[in-house]
Amino acid sequence: MRNTLATELLFDLSQPGRRAARFPHSDVPEQPLDEMIPASFRRDNQDGRLPELTEPDVIRHFLNLSTLNMSVDTHFYPLGSCTMKYNPKRHERLSRLPGMVDLHPYQRICDQQGMLRLLHDMQEMLAEIAGLPAVSLQPAAGAQGELSALLVASAWFRSRGETRTRVIFPSSAHGTNPASAAIAGFECVQLENTAGGLVDLAELEARLDEQTAVFMITNPNTLGLFETQIESIAAKVHDVGGLVYIDGANMNAIMGITRPGDFGGDMMHFNVHKTFTGPHGAGGPGAGPIAVRSELAEFLPGPVVTRTTDDDGQPHFDLETPIRSIGRVRSHFGNVGILLRGYCYLRTLGREGVRDAARHAVLNANYLQALLADLLPAPFGEYCMHEFVASASNLKDQRGISAMDIAKRLLDFGFHAPTIYFPLVVLEAMMIEPTETESKATLDAFAAALHEIAEEDVDFLRQAPHETPVSRPNDVQAARQPILSWSPDDDADRNA
C-alpha cells in the first residue's frame, strides 16, 4: 500500500517549470532592480537550485513521508526519559488563535496584555510546582535551561566574591548536564558509584569542597528512582557553599506530589515538551523554563513578566530584565508557542489533575515493571517512579538477544522502542516510560509482545525489524562517508 514514488527525494520529484506558490504581480510603480540593489550584491539567478514542484506533489510527498514515522498519535511510544504522553488537540487549535499566533514580539506592551497575562500566570504555576519562587521562561529547551541556570549560579558566586570551578553530577546524568557545564566554563566531575541506583553519599562527600559550584541531579533519576536521601545530599552540598540543580526531565513522576524547592533544590528546569505535553515536534521545539530560589532571582535571564496594579485596580503586565541578569539567552521571549500549550495543559488538569497525572504515570510504570519482572528485571529498587530501567542481560547471556534486537523487533509489533543503552550503569539497558496516557490494555499487549519476542529465533531477531520501511541502516558507512545533502551527482551514481 506504500506509495514509494511520492517519497522519492523532493529533488528527484522536481520537474523544470512546475510551480506551487504564486504571488500577485507587483502593484507598485516599476523600478529597475539595479536602482534598488546594485548588481554587485545580487545573485545570478541561474544558481538558484531549489526544486520545482506543484502543491499536490508537495502534499503527497510529505503525507506519505509522515506515514513512515511512529508517533504518540499513532503508536505506544515508551521512550524513557522523554515522557511521550498524549498531546491534546485543543492545544493545537488554541495556539493558532488570532491574537496569539500572529503576535509580533515587538508589539507595544498595551497590545500584548493577554499574552503577558498568560506568560505571567505560567511563571506563577511553574513556581508553585517547583517550590521555587522565581521563574524565567526564556530557555528554548532543557539543555538551555541547564546552561542558563549554571550561568546564574556562576554570576551569583561572583557577586559574593567567590570563584568556584566545579560542577558535579552522577554518572547516570543526561549528557546535556556535562555539556552545559562545560559551556558555562566549569570543570566537570562525575560520580562513578551508585548505591542501589542512587547517589553514593560517601563518594559525593569526598568530591565536595570549596571549589564545588553546583551539584546537578535528576530526581527522580534516570533509573526511575527517587533519590531518597535528597535532603542529606542537598545539605552536604549546601554545607560546602554549593548549589543544588535539579534536572526536571522527570517531573512527570512528582508534579503535585513533592517539590524540588522543598527537597533542597536551589535551581531547576522544566521540560515543557515532556511534562506539560509540548508536543515533541519530531525533535523539538521544546521549552526549558527555569525556577530558582529568591536570592538567585535577580540573576535570571530576561526578560521576565511582571504584574502591577493600575490606579483603577486593573492588573497591568510588563516585561522586565532582572537587575543583575546574566543577560539574554535567546532572542525575543522563549518558545512561546510551546509555553502556551503547557499553560493550556496545566489549566486543563488543574490542581487535582496535575497530581493525578503523576500518580497514574507511576502506577502505569510499576504495573509494566511488574509484568516484565521475570523477563527483563530492573536491577534496582522495588517500586519505580514514572519509568524503570529494565535489563536484557539475562536474555543476552542465555540466548544472545540484545536490548537492540528487542528494541528493533518491538517496532514490528507496532510499538516504539524504549530508550536503550542508557543509563550506562545498567547492562543492556531498556529505559521504559509508559506515561499516564496509556491504557492497561496497551501495557498488557506491550508486555505480551516482549514475552513473545524473547522466545523468537535469535537470527531472526538480529535482522529485525522485518516490517518497517527500512531495516538496520548502516551507521558505520554513514559516518565513514557522510552524505549530508542530496546532490545531482548522487542520481547519476544511482542510475549508473
Partner 1 sequence: MAYLFNTPDDVRSMLEVIGAESIDELFEQVPDHLQVDGLLDLPAGLSEPELEAHLRELAAANHGSSSRVCLMGGGVYDHFIPAAVDEVASRGEFYTAYTPYQAEASQGSLQTFFEFQTLVCQLTGMDVSNASLYEGGTAVSEAVFMAMRVTKRHNRVVVLGSLHPEFQQILETYLGHLSCQLDVIATPDGAADVDIVADSLDEETACLVIQHPNVFGALEELEPLCRAAHEVGALAVVSFDPLSLGLLKTPAACGADIAVAEGQSLGIPAQYGGPFLGILACRHDHVRQMPGRLIGQTVDRHGQRCFVLNLQAREQHIRREKATSNICTNQGLLAVRATVYLSLLGRQGLVDVAELCCRKAHYAAERLGELPGFELMFSRPFFKEFTLRHQGDATDVINRAAAAGFDLGPALGRFPRLRESLGEAADQTLLVAVTEQRTRDEIDRLVESLAATPTDSATPETLTKPA
Q: Identify residues 193-212 at the interface with partner 1 (CB under 8 A).
A: none
In the complex, minimum distance from the CB of residue 121 to partner 1, in angstroms, rounded to a whole number: 8
Helix pair 440-454, 403-412: axis angle to 10 deg: 120
Q: What angle do CA 408, 412, 417 make, to 5 degrees?
A: 45
Q: Which of 5, 159, 327, 452 binds partner 1 (CB under 8 A)?
A: 327
- Residues in binding contact with partner 1, number by CB under 8 A: 209
Residue type (1 letter), 430:
M
Phi, psi of 296 (to 5 degrees): -100, -5
In the complex, minimum distance from the CB of residue 287 to partner 1, in angstroms, rounded to a whole number: 8
343: left (phi over 0), alpha (psi -120 to 50) or beta: alpha
State which residue, 76 or 454, has the beta carbon closest to partner 1: 76
Q: Which of 6, 201, 240, 349 binds partner 1 (CB under 8 A)?
A: 349
In the complex, minimum distance from the CB of residue 425 to partner 1, in angstroms, rounded to a whole number: 14
In the complex, minimum distance from the CB of residue 236 to partner 1, in angstroms, rounded to a whole number: 16
Pairing of strands 315-320, 304-309: antiparallel
In the complex, minimum distance from the CB of residue 204 to partner 1, in angstroms, rounded to a whole number: 18
Whole-number CA gyration radius for the chain = 26
Positions in 9-68 near partner 1 (CB under 8 A): 9-11, 14, 18-23, 26-31, 33, 36-38, 41-43, 45, 47-53, 55, 58-59, 61-63, 65-68
Under DSSP, the state recorded for 26 is P
In the complex, minimum distance from the CB of residue 14 to partner 1, in angstroms, rounded to a whole number: 8
349 burial type by CB count under 10 A (0-12 exposed, 13-18 middle, 19+ buried)? middle
Pairing of strands 243-248, 267-270: parallel
Place of cell 551569583: 156
- Cell numbers representing residue 125 in the block: 504555576
Taking the mean position of all CA atoms in its chain, how far away is CA 311? 42
- Cell numbers representing residue 291 in the block: 525556577
Q: Which of 244, 290, 346, 389 binds partner 1 (CB under 8 A)?
A: 346
Positions in 227-266 near partner 1 (CB under 8 A): 228, 230-231, 254, 256-259, 262-263
- Cell numbers representing residue 356 in the block: 493525578
- Cell numbers representing residue 312 in the block: 483603577
State which residue, 75 or 238, has the beta carbon closest to partner 1: 75
State which residue, 62 or 460, has the beta carbon closest to partner 1: 62
Q: Which of 136, 222, 402, 419 binds partner 1 (CB under 8 A)?
A: 419
Q: Which of 76, 78, 123, 129 binds partner 1 (CB under 8 A)?
A: 129
In the complex, minimum distance from the CB of residue 434 to partner 1, in angstroms, rounded to a whole number: 11
Q: Which of 92, 210, 239, 457 binds partner 1 (CB under 8 A)?
A: 92
Residue 80 binds to partner 1 (criterion: CB under 8 A): no
Positions in 386-405 near partner 1 (CB under 8 A): none
Cα distances (angstroms) measured from residue 260 to each of 219, 267, 446: 8, 8, 33
Other Cβ atoms closer than 10 A to 203:
16
Residue type (1 letter), 52:
E
The contact pattern for partner 1, residues 285-304, with x = CB under 8 A and - = no contact, is: xxx-------------xxx-
The contact pattern for partner 1, residues 301-320, with x = CB under 8 A and - = no contact, is: xxx--------------xxx
Q: Which H or E run includes 244?
A: strand 243-248
Residues 139 and 287: beta-carbon distance below 8 Å = yes
Q: Which of 1, 104, 308, 489 binds partner 1 (CB under 8 A)?
A: 104
State which residue, 179 or 427, has the beta carbon closest to partner 1: 179
State which residue, 82 or 454, has the beta carbon closest to partner 1: 82
